A and B are shown apart, each in its own frame.
Chain A
C-alpha cells in the first residue's frame, strides 16, 4: 500500500497568515493527490485534485503544489472558517490511502 505521511499533525496560525500542510508519498503517485477539508461533525469536502486543480466553488486562497513525492496545500490569508482539519489522499492506486490529517487552529 502507498503510505501518505502528512505533517504537521496540528498547526496554530493567526488570521491573515499563510499556512502550508504537507504530504509525503511513499512512492511516486504521479500527481494523483487530492486534498479535503473536514469541519467538526461533518463529512469531508474536496478542495483540490490532481495535486493542484481547484475544485469548483473552492476559494482561490487554497492552492496545491508538488515537488517529487512531496505534496503541499497552501492556504493564503487564513480565515476563521479555515480552522478545521485537512486530509490528503492519493488517487493513484488501490487501496486509495489518506494522510492522518492536520488540525489547523487559530492563535
Chain B
C-alpha cells in the first residue's frame, strides 16, 4: 500500500525557515517524481514544486523560487521541503504528492498534509 507521511510542520515567524519531510513507503520511491502541493485555509490547491526521480531536476512556482528548496534522499525514501524567508502567504497545509510516472504531472497519491502557520 502506497503511503506518504509528512512531518515537521508548525508555527514559524515571518522571515524564518522551516524544513519538513515526507516518508514514502509501499512503492519504489526512486522510480517516481515527487511534488509538494499546498492549500491555504479554506482555499484551493496550489502546486509548489516538483523533483524528478533522481533529484537532478527541480521545478518551482514563481512565488517560492529562490526561497524554497525541494530535495530527496532515495536511500531513505524521503522527500523534503526547505522553506526560507517565509511569508504570511505561505501559511497552508502542505501535501506531499506522487507523480504517477516520470513526466506525467498529475498526482496519484497524496500524504495527509502538514500545517504550516507563518505568523508573528
Q: Which residues of A approach B to under 8 Å, CB–CB?
A: 32, 34, 36, 42-46, 49, 55, 87, 89, 91, 94-101
Interface SS of B by simple majority: loop
Q: Which residues of B contact A45 (CB under 8 A)?
A: 110
Complex interface: stretch among B24-32, B39-47, B66-74, B77-85: B39-47
Q: How many residues of B contact A (CB 8 A)?
A: 18
Q: Which residues of B contact A34 (CB under 8 A)?
A: 106-107
Contact yes or no, B44 A87, CB < 8 A = yes
**Inter-chain contact total with CB atoms closer than 8 Å:** 50
Q: Which residues of A contact B62 (CB under 8 A)?
A: 95
Which B85-113 residues have a C-beta within 8 angstroms of A? 95, 100, 104-108, 110-113
Q: Which residues of A contact B107 (CB under 8 A)?
A: 34, 36, 44, 46, 89
- Cα of A102 to Cα of B83 in the assembled complex, Å: 30
Q: Which residues of B approach A to under 8 Å, CB–CB?
A: 44-47, 59, 61-62, 95, 100, 104-108, 110-113
- Cα of A41 to Cα of B71 in the assembled complex, Å: 27
Contact yes or no, A97 B47, CB < 8 A = yes
CB distance from A100 to the nearest CB of B (A): 5
